[in-house]
Amino acid sequence: MQKIGVVGCGLMGSGIAEVSARAGHDVVVAESSQAAADAGLARLTKSLERAESRGKIDSAQDVLSRIRVIPDLQAMADRDIVVEAIVEDEATKVALFKQLDEIVTSPDAILASNTSSIPIMKLAVVTKRPTHVLGVHFFNPVPVLSLVELVPSLLTADETTEQARSWVEGSLGKHAIDCQDRAGFVVNALLIPFILSAIRMYESGFASAEDIDQGLVRGAAHPQGPLALADLIGLDTTKAVAESLYEEFKEPLYASPPLLARMVDAGLLGRKTGRGFYTYNK
């Protein structure tokens, strides 16, 4: 797989595009508008220039020469694998997979989703190639974190999973783990209840956000606390994943606390908006 397609050039999509181009692949990223494409290219340029300044890569411009960011989904037609990295909303992703199934010309091309919680089967069954659909879930920041979850549905061909594994491990140098097609997969099924528990603790007045986070950083050797992590993930994404988990399992530990819902309604989404459980310089 040499021709890589990515749909969406936000934090995750730009990261997937970057690591693919750094591995020598020809990368095309589709965005919804020219303004979004320009913003995505600027995000990629900034990240690659930072990597060059730190000696991680030889030339940012050399990597950028292998990436095109354009507002045209039709550009996915000749790709060997297309990774969807758009908003964490089931209806939006389903609609996109219907489009990609019509656009991507090779019947052997893989359609992958970077979803963090939505069952892959719901995306696979709206295509005419369910054997070539699977989840390939990267973690933020993609250039730094080595883990990728591979999530085949009940209909995914073994060959498809192995092709994805070869790309993720052999080309990108990541570490893949296998997950069943259940909402949240491995990491978020463990992580989200932990974050929600911290939010409930803060909401109840039991402890301050700083003390909750410092308790886990200094007492459990976590690199950052759960509330700071929620801000990094995005509170809207945290809420969306929690809702997907609750919809699947109906377990109270997956239910969003009222405070999380109110913060999302208020647009206090964490780092990307400048304010969540902490305040940031955008």
**Which residues does the annotation mark as catalytic?**
116, 137, 149, 188
- DSSP labels, the chain: --EEEEE--SHHHHHHHHHHHHTT-EEEEE-SSHHHHHHHHHHHHHHHHHHHHTTSSS-HHHHHTTEEEES-GGGGTT-SEEEE---S-HHHHHHHHHHHHHH---TT-EEEE--SSS-THHHHTTSS-GGGEEEEEE-SSTTT--EEEEEE-TT--HHHHHHHHIIIIIIS--EEEE--SSTTTTHHHHHHHHHHHHHHHHHTTSS-HHHHHHHHHHHH--SS-HHHHHHHH-HHHHHHHHHHHHHHH--GGGSPPHHHHHHHHTT--BGGGTBSSSB---
β-bridge pairing 3-7 and 81-84: parallel
